[in-house]
Structures are given as structure tokens and as C-alpha cells.
């Protein structure tokens, strides 16, 4: 079991770092300094960071993050400069200005670059796991995330079924944030809970409350441990609420105020902080200091990325093939 | 002993599996059953871990191949029929095709597409998708017409670091054979002149090469000498070889078995018209199947797609312009 007292603090730190990074990118967006869209994981950091934390690059794990996984990326070890550089289109980023915002990755370092098409990453992670197994590696796990909306795609069904048939060490974490863009759950799926699907695929199912730091860490670490111990694919469904629009262009008018006033509407950064303090895992002063340190790192990262060179169409090689 | 087109594919797969432990095969019924067309017969027995049956999940088959390729393997996936690759379309054109451009990490996968028509195959087991895949930057598309090309292009496709769409023609599988099997040293991206002539050029590929050869034989009785270029590769397209041929003949008929709108033949005509207009003594022509879904009954089917007879008629029109 990875899960120790330290883990809660580590996960919280990734959550907070992601929140601060995204706040800064959102303000650059409002200032007109980002060419494309900006998509935040506000409210979903606990789920995301828990998965990024539970997966270990040192053990050969691979992680396919999705739209709202800045926290998971930080926890898995992505350099925050990759985030800033990709949003800003810098040539120094992993995508060199050829793709933007959330679509980045370093596939050779265990983090494939997502494509927009939802559901596609599940089978890609399966392939990475399959390759490792063929090579004779062991003890690795692959994580893929999804929103409840993405679970309606054929790719998601095919991917989970494929992982089950192959008995791959895959952990799929679904963050059910009640809305897929503007579409409420009632128009997205007709079963009571998405975790019921686990049985249909023949995989283990788990649930947790997405804004409860402890529950997220405990549940997701357990799922990852199960997969690592050869128990096959695991499906985790976290109940959550997106505390922002789909992207920064969206004011989320379709989310009724009442739902924001329920427990789901609580911000995981706040509840996480209260949890750490109440368990004496950190003091308020320590967490404030952590926040201050992270804010200053965000300023550094953004300043560096903003000084980076932009791509030059006359110098770019434009190659689509690695071999001619 | 005759080696058939399908044998060449199996031999190439076997050789690749033998030579390179990072090669594996993944697809529906390809294991003990040997594949719907038996292209992988016997391979599961020889390479039990690397010849793997897949669920009916074309999208996930392609996705798995992409993930494995990123991890340094060389997956060869089989679509049972080219037609079903439409389910895998997203992974191939959006993920595999863009991957190197986006990330600098190559995706060395081969997607095998049993393509083209045979009598009685109908709308969903006969399609030719090479123009569709050729449309996307980042994909290489090959379509061998001969046994030796099937063998050498397959080996090259597997060794290639980029995604290759391998269109094998179902009609050729057990129709075309050779006694003298001689691997060709002609790379992906190169076409070749398989029949010399001086009155007109036919540029085509795959099964249509054989229809064009028959048409040329017929016309030869009347003294017409038709040059035939086998494109071999759809993307990259060997425009140079076609233009050099048109420079000799002054006339072009591009033939492909796909639908006429946006077909490989349209592409060849467009390339020659825009880069070799001054070489032409007549308007360049294209000849495709009809612009309807592919019909089931053999009478309808043979009237639907280009045949030796229809190619001959088109050539006469071109020669008499
Ligand atoms: C296959 C596909 N269809 C449509 C879209 C456009 N799209 C992007 S995000 C989104 C909503 C996704 O909802 P969900 O999976 O619940 O994740 P959330 O955004 O709520 O985190 C849609 C429709 C897409 N990216 N992919």
C-alpha cells in the first residue's frame, strides 16, 4: 500500500499547485494572451491528483490525463513548464506550438499526448501496458481518466472491455461532475450509477466523493494497488461538480445554484485544507506558506514561458513523417 | 510451388515476427483460426504470445496499436475487412497520423486492410479506402498489385517508423500467384512501369493493374501500345514516374477501383494536369467505380467497378480524342 499520512499532504500540494497554475493561465486568457481555449479542472483536483500520485513513473506506470487533469499531471511529475509552454505555444514546450492547451504529453516518458476525441486514451494506455507485458516487464499500472460524458463513447466501452479481456493493469477514473459541457447526467446515461457498469465489463468497481481528499486518495490508491497486484482493470467513479465552465469561454449558466449549495459544490481545496489541519497533518501557517511558495513558482514558470521563442513557420520543418 | 499473394503477406509477417521481437499481430480471429482470409495461418502456433486475437473493437484495436507503438513495439493490426476500419478511423487519422508531427515521437504501426471487391461482397465488404487514408498527413498508404510487392512492401511497412495503411486486395489473395518469387528492392513511395508503351499511359494500382494489363493486351491487337504505371504506393504518390510516362505518351488514364469523388485517380489526374499540362495531347481522364454503394449481385458488381472491358473503352475514347 502506498497510502501513508504523507500522501494526503503530497496530493494536496499537487492540487494547490494545479489550482494556482490554472488561475494564472485563466487570467492570461482574459488578458487575451492565449490563442486557444483554456480548460480548468477547478473542483476536480482531489480526484485527479490522487491518481497522478498513486501512479509511479519509477515503477513503469503510464498515465493518460484528460481535460481536467492538471493536478494529476503535477502529481505524476509533469514539469509545470510543459503546461505554460503548451498554452503559450512556445517552441520549447513538448508540442512546439503544434498543439495547445491540454493536449500535451511526453509519450516516451509515460504520459501520452491526448487527442480531443473523448474516450480515445483508454485503448492507447491498454497498448502501452500490452507492450510492457510483451516485453516481460511487470509491476506496472496504467491510469486513464474520463468524465461521465466521455463514458458514453464507443471508444470508452471498447477500451474498457478490451482491458478486461486482456486482464490489463488499467485503472480508469471517471469524474462524474454532473454535466458534460451543458448536458446533465439524465441526458447522458440511464443507469443509476456509472460504477454499475464495472460488473458488466467484468472489472472491479469503486466509488468515492470527489471533493473529499482522504476518500479520493484511499480509494484510488487501493484501485491502483489492486491493479498492480494483478487483479485486472479497476473502475473508479468519483462524484463531483465542475466549479467553472467547460472552458473559460463558458459561464456555466446551465448549472443550477441549488446544486452548488449541496455537498458536491464544496471546493476540494477548502475541504482538503480543513482535513489536513483537523488531522494535524499540517498547520494553517504551513499551508499558507506552501501556497505562497507555489504562487511564486507559478510566477516564475509563467515568466519563463512568456520569454520563450514562438514557432517560426519559415524555420519549422513541417514534417509529418519521421522517415522519408 | 506457386506462391499466392496471400502467401506473400503471410511469409512477410512470419519473417518480421522471426527477425524482430518487437513485432506483434493483433486482430479479430487471427490466432488459431488464422484470420478470416487465412493470412495469419500457422503464425499463432509459432509465435503464441505475439499473434493475439482481439475483441470486435476496431477503435480499440487501433488504439492499442498506437499505445504499443509509442512504447517501442511494431504492431501489425488486421481489420477483418477494410470497410470496418471506419470504426477505427478516429484513432488512425487523428491519433496515429498526427502523432509524430505533434510530439516528435513516431508511431510504427501497420494497419492491414483487406480491400476491394469480389463478387457477392456488397456494400460493406468491398470498399477501397486508400484515398481516404491518403488524404491525411502523416499516414503512408501502400497497395501492392503483385506477389513480390506484397511481400517486400509488407516487410518495409513493418520496418517503417511511421504508420502505414496496407491495402491488400481480396481478389488478388488467391487469384494471383507466382512461381518465381523475387523480393523487390523498390521502396515505399516508388511506382514502376510494368508495361512499356507509347500511345497512352494508364496509372493505376492493386487489382486494377491486372484489369489494365488485359485491356492493354486487347488494344495491342489493334496496334495500340499502352504504357502501364503501377503506383504501388498511394501516399507518398510517385508523381514523377507518372509524369515521365506521360511525357512519352502524351495521354493519361488514371484508374482506381474506389468511388470517383476524391479518388486516387482524381489525385493522379490533378497532379498531372497541374504539373504536366504541357505534356498532354488530350485531356487527362479518370476511371473509377460508379458513384453508388457497391452492389451485391455479380452482374451489378461487374458493371459497377472498372474492368478490363471498361478500361479498354475509356482508353479508346482517350486515344481517339
Ligand atoms: C468524441 C468527442 N465528442 C465531443 C467532444 C467535445 N467535448 C469536449 S469536452 C465535452 C464534454 C465532456 O464531458 P465529460 O466527459 O463529462 O467531461 P467534463 O468536461 O465534464 O470534465 C465535449 C462534448 C469531444 N472532445 N470528443
- Regarding whether B139 and B206 lie in a shared domain, the answer is no
The protein residue whose alpha carbon is closest to atom 22 in ligand 1 is A181
> Does A110 lie at the interface with B, CB-CB under 8 angstroms?
no
- Regarding whether B15 and B68 lie in a shared domain, the answer is yes
Residue A4 pLDDT > 80, yes or no?
no
Residue B160 pLDDT > 60, yes or no?
yes
Interface of B with A in 11-70 (CB under 8 A): 24, 49-50, 54-55, 57, 59-70
> Does A127 lie at the interface with B, CB-CB under 8 angstroms?
yes
Q: Of A64, A68, A145, A149, which is best to mutate to test ligand 1, by the most ligand atoms within 8 angstroms of its C-beta?
A: A149
Has residue B187 been placed in a domain? no
Length of chain B as a residue count: 321
Specify the pLDDT at position B180. 85
> Which atom of ligand 1 lies at the shortest distance from residue A148's CA?
16
Positions of B marked catalytic: 125
The answer to whether A113 contacts B73, with C-beta atoms less than 8 Å apart, is: no
What distance in Å separates residue A62's CA from the closest CA in chain B? 10
Specify the pLDDT at position A323. 83
Mean pLDDT value across residues A286-290: 98
How far is residue A146's CA from residue A67's CA, in Å, rounded to a whole number? 8
Which of A321, A323, A324 should we substitute to test contact with B (largest number of B Cβ atoms within 10 Å)? A321
What residues form DSSP beta bridges with A209?
Answer: A239
Has residue B186 been placed in a domain? no
Mean pLDDT value across residues B175-189: 89
Specify the pLDDT at position B53. 98
Collapsed DSSP state (helix, strand, coil) of residue A146:
strand
What distance in Å separates residue B70's CA from the closest CA in chain A? 7
Residue B1 pLDDT > 90, yes or no?
no
**Mean of per-residue pLDDT scores for chain A:** 97
Residue B102 pLDDT > 80, yes or no?
yes
The answer to whether A155 contacts B59, with C-beta atoms less than 8 Å apart, is: yes
A99 ligand 1 Cβ < 6 A = no
Chain A: residue whose CA lies nearest to B140: A321
Angle subtended at Cα B206 by Cα B200 and Cα B207, rounded to the nearest 5 degrees = 90
A316 contact residues in B (CB cutoff 8 A): none
- Regarding whether B236 and B121 lie in a shared domain, the answer is no
- Regarding whether B165 and B196 lie in a shared domain, the answer is no
Specify the pLDDT at position A313. 95
Percent of chain A with pLDDT over 70: 99
Q: Say what the alpha-carbon torsion angle B124, B128, B134, B135 is, to the nearest 10 degrees.
A: -60
Has residue B185 been placed in a domain? no
Cell numbers for A155: 471508444
Has residue B123 been placed in a domain? yes
Collapsed DSSP state (helix, strand, coil) of residue B284:
coil
Q: Crossing angle for the helix pair A213-228 and A5-30, nearest 10 degrees?
A: 110
Specify the pLDDT at position A242. 97
Model confidence, pTM: 0.96
The answer to whether A125 contacts B162, with C-beta atoms less than 8 Å apart, is: no
A319 contact residues in B (CB cutoff 8 A): 100-101
The protein residue whose alpha carbon is closest to atom 9 in ligand 1 is A181
The answer to whether A162 contacts B70, with C-beta atoms less than 8 Å apart, is: no
- Regarding whether B197 and B114 lie in a shared domain, the answer is no
Q: With beta carbons less than 8 A apart as the criterion, state whether B231 and B191 touch.
A: yes
Ligand 1 centroid from CA B268, angstroms: 39
Please state the domain count of chain B. Answer: 2
**In this complex, which of B67, B98, B140 lies closest to A128 when CB atoms are compared?**
B67
**Domain of residue B232, CATH code:** 3.40.50.920
Specify the pLDDT at position B183. 80
Specify the pLDDT at position A3. 54
- Regarding whether B133 and B38 lie in a shared domain, the answer is yes
Whether the ipTM is more than 0.90: the answer is yes
Q: Write the pLDDT tens digit of every residue in B262-281.
A: 999 999 999 999 999 999 99
- Regarding whether B173 and B196 lie in a shared domain, the answer is no
- Regarding whether B36 and B127 lie in a shared domain, the answer is yes
Of B178, B205, B237, which residue is a domain's last?
B178
Cell numbers for B219: 488494344
Show the domain range for B32: 3-178
- Regarding whether B104 and B72 lie in a shared domain, the answer is yes
Confidence band for B182, pLDDT divided at 50, 70 and 90: confident
Burial class (CB in 10 A: 0-12, 13-18, 19+), A129: buried
In this structure, the number of other CB atoms found within 10 A of the CB of residue A274 comes to 13
Of B152, B178, B204, which residue is a domain's last?
B178
**Domain of residue B172, CATH code:** 3.40.50.970
Q: Write the pLDDT tens digit of every residue in A157-209.
A: 999 999 999 999 999 999 999 999 999 999 999 999 999 999 999 999 999 99
Ligand 1 centroid from CA A143, angstroms: 19
The answer to whether B72 contacts A131, with C-beta atoms less than 8 Å apart, is: yes
- Regarding whether B139 and B243 lie in a shared domain, the answer is no
Specify the pLDDT at position B61. 98
Of B178, B200, B222, which residue is a domain's last?
B178
How far is residue A292's CA from residue A294's CA, in Å, rounded to a whole number? 5
- Regarding whether B223 and B290 lie in a shared domain, the answer is yes
Chain A: residue whose CA lies nearest to B189: A324
Ligand 1 centroid from CA B43, angstroms: 41
What does B146-211 look like in DSSP terms, one character per residue? SHHHHHHHHHHHHH-SS-EEEEEEHHHHTT-EESS-------TT--EEEE--SSEEEEE-THHHHH
Residue A239 pLDDT > 80, yes or no?
yes
Has residue B184 been placed in a domain? no
Q: Write the pLDDT tens digit of every residue in A116-160.
A: 999 999 999 999 999 999 999 999 999 999 999 999 999 999 999
Mean pLDDT value across residues B156-160: 98
Specify the pLDDT at position A2. 53
- Regarding whether B172 and B46 lie in a shared domain, the answer is yes
Residue B3: enclosing H or E segment and its boundaries? strand B3-4
**In this complex, which of B68, B101, B104 lies closest to A130 when CB atoms are compared?**
B68
Percent of chain B with pLDDT over 70: 100
> Which atom of ligand 1 lies at the shortest distance from residue A117's CA?
26
B100 contact residues in A (CB cutoff 8 A): 319-322
Collapsed DSSP state (helix, strand, coil) of residue A190:
coil
- CA-based end-to-end distance of chain A: 48
Amino acid at each position: 500500500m502506498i497510502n501513508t499520512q504523507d500522501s494526503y499532504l503530497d496530493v494536496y500540494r499537487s492540487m494547490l499547485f494545479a489550482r494556482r497554475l490554472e488561475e494564472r493561465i485563466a487570467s492570461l486568457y482574459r488578458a487575451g494572451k492565449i490563442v486557444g481555449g483554456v480548460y480548468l479542472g477547478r473542483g476536480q483536483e482531489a480526484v485527479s491528483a490522487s491518481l497522478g500520485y498513486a501512479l509511479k513513473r519509477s515503477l513503469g506506470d503510464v498515465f493518460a490525463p484528460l481535460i481536467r487533469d492538471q493536478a494529476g499531471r503535477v502529481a505524476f511529475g509533469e514539469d509545470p513548464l510543459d503546461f505554460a509552454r503548451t498554452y503559450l505555444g512556445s517552441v520549447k514546450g513538448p508540442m512546439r506550438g503544434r498543439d495547445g492547451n491540454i493536449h500535451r504529453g511526453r509519450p516516451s516518458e509515460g504520459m501520452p499526448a491526448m487527442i480531443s476525441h473523448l474516450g480515445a486514451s483508454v485503448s492507447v494506455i491498454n497498448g502501452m501496458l500490452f507492450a510492457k507485458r510483451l516485453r516481460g516487464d511487470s509491476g506496472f499500472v496504467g491510469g486513464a481518466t474520463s468524465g461521465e460524458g466521455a463514458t458514453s463513447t464507443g471508444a470508452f466501452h471498447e477500451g474498457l472491455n478490451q482491458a478486461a479481456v486482456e486482464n490489463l493493469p488499467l485503472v480508469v477514473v471517471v469524474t462524474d461532475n454532473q454535466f458534460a459541457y451543458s448536458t446533465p447526467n439524465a441526458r447522458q446515461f440511464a443507469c443509476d450509477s456509472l460504477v454499475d457498469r464495472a460488473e458488466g465489463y467484468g472489472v472491479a468497481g469503486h466509488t468515492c466523493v470527489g471533493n473529499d481528499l482522504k476518500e479520493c486518495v484511499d480509494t484510488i490508491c487501493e484501485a491502483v494497488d489492486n491493479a498492480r497486484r494483478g487483479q485486472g482493470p479497476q473502475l473508479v467513479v468519483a462524484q463531483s461538480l465542475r466549479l467553472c465552465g467547460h472552458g473559460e469561454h463558458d459561464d456555466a449558466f446551465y448549472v443550477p445554484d441549488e446544486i452548488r449549495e449541496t455537498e458536491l459544490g464544496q471546493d476540494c481545496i477548502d475541504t482538503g485544507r480543513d482535513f489536513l489541519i483537523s488531522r494535524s497533518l499540517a498547520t494553517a501557517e504551513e499551508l499558507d506558506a506552501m501556497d505562497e511558495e507555489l504562487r511564486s513558482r507559478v510566477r516564475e514558470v509563467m515568466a519563463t514561458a512568456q520569454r520563450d521563442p514562438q514557432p517560426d513557420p519559415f524555420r519549422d520543418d513541417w514534417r509529418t513523417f519521421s522517415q522519408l | 510451388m506457386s506462391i499466392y499473394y496471400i502467401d506473400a503477406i503471410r511469409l512477410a509477417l512470419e519473417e518480421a515476427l522471426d527477425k524482430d521481437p518487437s513485432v506483434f499481430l493483433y486482430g479479430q480471429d487471427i490466432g488459431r483460426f488464422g484470420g478470416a482470409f487465412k493470412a495469419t495461418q500457422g503464425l499463432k502456433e509459432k509465435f503464441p504470445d505475439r499473434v493475439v486475437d482481439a475483441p470486435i473493437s476496431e477503435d480499440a484495436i487501433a488504439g492499442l496499436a498506437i499505445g504499443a507503438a509509442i512504447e517501442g513495439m511494431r504492431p501489425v493490426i488486421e481489420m477483418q475487412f477494410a470497410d470496418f476500419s471506419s470504426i477505427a478511423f478516429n484513432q488512425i487519422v487523428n491519433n496515429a497520423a498526427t502523432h509524430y508531427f505533434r510530439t516528435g515521437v513516431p508511431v510504427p504501426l501497420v494497419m492491414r486492410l483487406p480491400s476491394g471487391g469480389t463478387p457477392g461482397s456488397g456494400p460493406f465488404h468491398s470498399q477501397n479506402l486508400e484515398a481516404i487514408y491518403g488524404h491525411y498527413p502523416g499516414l503512408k498508404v501502400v497497395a501492392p498489385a503483385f506477389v513480390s510487392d506484397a511481400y517486400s512492401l509488407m516487410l518495409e511497412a513493418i520496418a517503417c517508423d511511421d504508420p502505414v495503411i496496407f491495402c491488400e486486395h481480396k481478389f488478388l489473395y488467391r487469384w494471383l500467384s507466382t512461381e518465381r518469387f523475387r523480393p523487390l528492392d523498390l521502396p515505399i513511395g516508388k511506382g514502376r512501369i510494368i508495361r512499356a508503351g507509347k500511345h497512352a499511359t494508364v496509372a493505376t494500382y492493386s487489382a486494377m493493374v491486372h484489369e489494365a494489363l488485359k485491356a492493354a493486351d486487347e488494344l495491342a491487337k489493334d496496334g495500340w501500345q499502352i504504357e502501364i504505371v503501377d503506383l504501388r504506393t498511394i501516399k507518398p504518390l510517385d508523381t514523377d514516374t507518372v509524369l515521365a510516362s506521360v511525357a512519352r505518351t502524351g495521354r493519361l488514364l488514371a484508374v482506381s477501383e474506389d468511388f470517383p469523388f476524391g479518388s486516387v485517380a482524381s489525385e493522379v489526374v490533378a497532379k498531372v494536369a497541374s504539373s504536366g499540362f504541357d505534356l498532354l495531347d488530350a485531356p487527362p481522364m479518370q476511371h473509377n467505380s460508379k458513384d453508388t454503394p457497391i452492389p451485391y449481385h455479380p452482374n451489378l458488381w461487374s458493371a459497377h467497378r472498372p474492368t478490363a472491358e471498361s478500361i479498354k473503352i475509356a482508353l479508346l475514347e482517350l486515344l481517339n480524342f
